[in-house]
Structure 1
């Protein structure tokens, strides 16, 4: 199969990854050009290496240059790093026309499928991880867990106290939790609102008398 088929497959795969999966889920526009450029760049370099009589040292030097790329110019989450390396892997597969097309195209599809499932919003959609700063100094994780369960309206799975400041009376902790269903939260808010309205009506009645 010609190299154009591999290039076309790579472009289709990266477009699905970027515009079909990443942007609709994360809405970070500045990462689009990063994913597209790194994919096409890696594909071009890989294709040039695979079709030219280049030494192994040259190839290692090229990938050493790629390794210099820093991912910390702006903050990136683990999910975005996964997209980043998936774009690189797709580019590598698209740059080796000597590889069996069935294997190359299948691996591209597997990479996209893994990202599609692993980063799906409905997969553990209510599970969260968050750094919390509490305005009390807690040395007991169980007490911090009870307070966080009330504040976050969630089931707390893990609380790791990172820092306790007894001078400023604050606690920094890493919390892993699952939010409770929105229906229950809405019902509770409606009940609190109804109680507040009842108190207001009673106060108005007393004032009128």
Structure 2
């Protein structure tokens, strides 16, 4: 079966597989702890590579394929409230897949370019490349919160204290995603330090009831 594939295709496929795996598993996931998006990024990198390689055999312009996947990625993932950093990783995965599928370089040149992208991403993620202080790993979770009176900026300390008391998390910061004054509920994006194991990404915080967890 493998004999029907050209050595060029197998080399490019293996290089892209390893590069995307390193990017998602050892750079993105340890920093964000988002299993669902890590899966999406990995599969995105694999499928973009395969389709781009097919477009190459059909002599279609590289700009056509890149534009197609860039538009799809931005439209599809922007509707899910994806963070700017996750969008950046999505672009890196897309760029690696397109580069590995359409580039005309030797194996050594491919390896240098992919390695440079991964090294730069890793240094930037740690803050070393930009001269920033290293940031501890944090988890982002979405919370439905009924005490909208604490959303006001001057009561931020009370908001953090209340969330920490209910969840047991060490909360770094909170962002207001949406306010529903008809239901007196706010949707918050909470960033906290990870516990040993944190199950779920969606938590409803309501008085007098246990917290309910699910996927963000």
Aligned residue-pair number: 174
Q: Give the Cα–Cα distance (whole angstroms) in 1 for the partners of residues 104 and 57 of structure 2.
A: 9
Q: Describe the SS at the equivalent of 1:12.
A: helix
1:80 aligns with 2:86: yes
**After superposition, what is the alpha-carbon deviation per residue over 1:120-145, rounded to whole angstroms, capped at 9, x for unaligned?**
1753669xxxxxxxxxxxxxxxxxxx
The structural deviation recorded for 1:31 is 0.2
Task: State the partner residue of 1:67.
Answer: 71
CA-based RMSD of the aligned residues comes to 5.0
1:28 aligns with 2:28: no
Question: CA 1:61/1:125 → structure 2, altered by over 3 Å: closer, same or farther?
Answer: closer
- In structure 1, which of residues 116, 123, 127 is the aligned counterpart of residue 134 of structure 2? 123
Question: CA 1:86/1:53 → structure 2, altered by over 3 Å: closer, same or farther?
Answer: closer
- In structure 2, which of residues 10, 14, 26 is the aligned counterpart of residue 8 of structure 1? 14
- In structure 2, which of residues 46, 56, 77 is the aligned counterpart of residue 50 of structure 1? 56
Structure 1: 5+ residue runs without aligned partners?
127-209
Q: Which runs of 4+ in 1 moved over 6 A?
A: none
Q: Give the Cα–Cα distance (whole angstroms) in 1 for the partners of residues 69 and 17 of structure 2.
A: 23
**After superposition, what is the alpha-carbon deviation per residue over 1:19-40, rounded to whole angstroms, capped at 9, x for unaligned?**
1111112101110221012111
Structure 2: 5+ residue runs without aligned partners?
1-6, 128-132, 138-216
Q: TM-score, normalised by structure 1?
A: 0.54
Question: CA 1:98/1:52 → structure 2, altered by over 3 Å: closer, same or farther?
Answer: farther
Contact 1:39-1:87 at 8 Å conserved across structures: yes
The structural deviation recorded for 1:63 is 2.9
Contact 1:10-1:91 at 8 Å conserved across structures: yes
Q: Describe the SS at the equivalent of 1:95.
A: helix
Contact 2:52-2:65 at 8 Å conserved across structures: no
Q: Describe the SS at the equivalent of 1:123.
A: coil
Q: Indicate the structure with greater helix content.
A: 1
Q: TM-score, normalised by structure 2?
A: 0.52
**After superposition, what is the alpha-carbon deviation per residue over 1:85-131, rounded to whole angstroms, capped at 9, x for unaligned?**
111111112212633322222111111111111111753669xxxxx
